[in-house]
Chains A and B, each alone.
Chain A
Amino acid sequence: MSVVTASFGTLGRQVLGTLAAIGRVTGFALRVLVHMLRPPYYPRELVGQLLAIGWFSLPVVGLTALFTGGALALQIYAGGARFNAEAVVPSIVAIGMARELGPVLGGLMVAGRVAAAIAAELGTMKVTEQIDALTTLSTNPMKFLAAPRVLAATLTVPLLVAVGDAIGIMGGWLVSTSRLGFNSAVYLQNTADFLQVWDVGSGLVKGAVFGFLVALMGCYHGMNSGRGAQGVGRATTNAVVSASVLILASNYLLTEAFFSA
Chain B
Amino acid sequence: MIELAGLHKSFGPKAVLRGVDLSVPKGTSTVIIGGSGTGKSVLLKCILGLVEPDAGTITVDGRPARQGDRDAFLARFGMLFQGGALFDSMPVWQNVAFRLLRGTLKMPRAAAREVALDKLRRVGLGPEVADLYPAELSGGMQKRVSLARAIAAEPQIIFFDEPTTGLDPIMSGVINRLIREIVTEMGATALTITHDMSSVRAIADRVAMLHAGKIRWEGPVSDMDAATDPYLTQFISGSADGPIETLR
Contacts and interface: CB of A to CB of B under 8 A. Distances in A.
A42 B45 CA distance: 26
Given A136-B48, A136-B74, A136-B79, A130 B99 contact: no
B217 interface: no
Contacts of A40: 102-103
A139 interface: yes
A125 B149 CA distance: 17
B77 A136 contact: yes
> Which has the most chain B C-beta neighbours within 10 Å: A40, A135, A137?
A137
B81 A129 contact: yes
B75 interface: yes
A135 B85 CA distance: 12
Contacts, number: 48
A138 B85 contact: no
Contacts of B104: 138
Nearest to A124: B88
B110 interface: no
B50 A136 contact: yes
A138 B71 contact: yes
> Which has the most chain A C-beta neighbours within 10 Å: B48, B81, B85, B98?
B85
A137 B45 contact: no
Interface residues of B, number: 23
A138 B83 contact: no
A11 to B, nearest CB: 24
Contacts of A137: 74, 98-99, 149
Contact of A132 (B45, B71, B77, B102): B45
List of 10 A-B pairs having minimum Cβ-Cβ separation, nearest first: A133-B85, A129-B85, A138-B74, A136-B79, A138-B71, A129-B81, A130-B85, A132-B50, A137-B98, A137-B99
24 contacts: A40-B102, A42-B102, A124-B88, A125-B88, A130-B86, A130-B87, A130-B88, A132-B45, A132-B85, A133-B81, A133-B85, A133-B87, A135-B48, A135-B50, A136-B48, A136-B77, A136-B79, A137-B74, A137-B99, A137-B149, A138-B74, A138-B103, A138-B104, A139-B98
Interface of B: 45, 48-50, 71, 74-75, 77-79, 81-83, 85-88, 98-99, 102-104, 149
Given A128-B83, A133-B87, 11 more contacts: A124-B88, A130-B88, A133-B86, A135-B50, A135-B74, A136-B48, A137-B74, A137-B98, A138-B74, A138-B103, A139-B102
Interface of A: 40, 42, 124-125, 128-130, 132-133, 135-139
